Amino acid sequence: MTKTYHFNMKDKNMNTIILRFCRCISPCLFALMLISMVFLFSSPSVVSAEQALTGSQILKQVDENLQPGNLEMYRKIINIEPDGKKKEFVLWFLKKDMDKIVTLFVSPASEEGRATLRLGDNMWLYIPNVGKPIRITSMQSVVGGVFNNADIMRLDYHVEYDVADLTEDQDQHLLDLKARTGSVAYDRLRMWVLKQELVPTRVECYAATGMLIKTLHFKEIKDIGDGVVRPAVMETDSPLYQGYTSIMISANLKKRELPDEVFTLNYLSRVKDLR
C-alpha cells in the first residue's frame, strides 16, 4: 500500500515543516536527495563561477609560480648569433622580497666573480679589482645578446605593471599590462597565460610608441627544484636584432632566506662566499 504524506500548509514554522518531511521520507530517499544536492552545488559551472579570477589575481599567481618567494637558483644564458656562434653564461640568482635581486657570474672564467644588484629600479654591476660598483640601466645588458638587465634581474610582474585588460585568446588568458612608471623597461606587455598551470607561454614587450621590442617564449614546463613546476626555458627574439636569439634556462631552484645585508653594494664582493 502506498503511503500518502500530508502536510499542514497552515503551519508557518518552516523548521517544523522540514522536520516532519525528514521524518516521513525513507532513509534511502533522503540519502539520494543529499547526493543530488552535493552534485548540484559542486558542478563545474558553479565552481568556475565562484573561482573566476580577476586579471590582477592571475598576474600575482603567475609571479608566485615563476619566482615563489625568497629563493636561489641557477640560470644559463645562451646567446646565439646569426652565423650560429654561441656564447654561454651561468649565473647564480638570489631573490628576496619583491624588490631585491643579486646575480653572481659563475662562468665563463673571464666573467667569474662579477655580480649585479637590483634594488627596485636601481641596478649596479660589480667587477672584481675595479673598485666601486658601476651604475647600469635596465635596457643595457651585462651579457650582451637580446636579454637586457631587466629580463635577467626581473622583478615580479605585478610590482611593475597593472592589468589594463583581460581577454581570452587561443584558449588562454590574455593579459594586457601597463607599466606603473616610466622607469620600467617596457611600457606595455601582452601576456598569454595557460589557464590550468597559470604560467605564461608568451610575452610581447612594447615601447611607449607601440613598437614591438621583443617577444619572450616560455617553454618546457617541469619541476625546476623544490617542487616548483614552471617553464624551465625562456627564449627571446627581437625585430631589432634580426637573426639573434637568446635563451635562458633555469634550474636547481631552492627556497632560501638571506639577510638584507646580502642585498647591498658593500656585500657584492662577498656574494661568492654564500654558494
Beta strands in 144-228 (DSSP E): 161-169, 172-179, 188-193, 200-206, 212-223
pLDDT at res. 170: 87
For residue 255, the one-letter residue type is: K
**CB 75 within 8 Å of CB 67:** no
pLDDT at res. 11: 44
Please give the mean pLDDT across all residues of the chain.
Answer: 87
CATH entry 1.20.1560.10 includes domain 55-274: no
Is the pLDDT assigned to residue 92 strictly greater than 70?
Answer: yes
User: What SS3 class is residue 198?
Assistant: coil
**Mean pLDDT, range 135-158, rounded to an integer:** 96
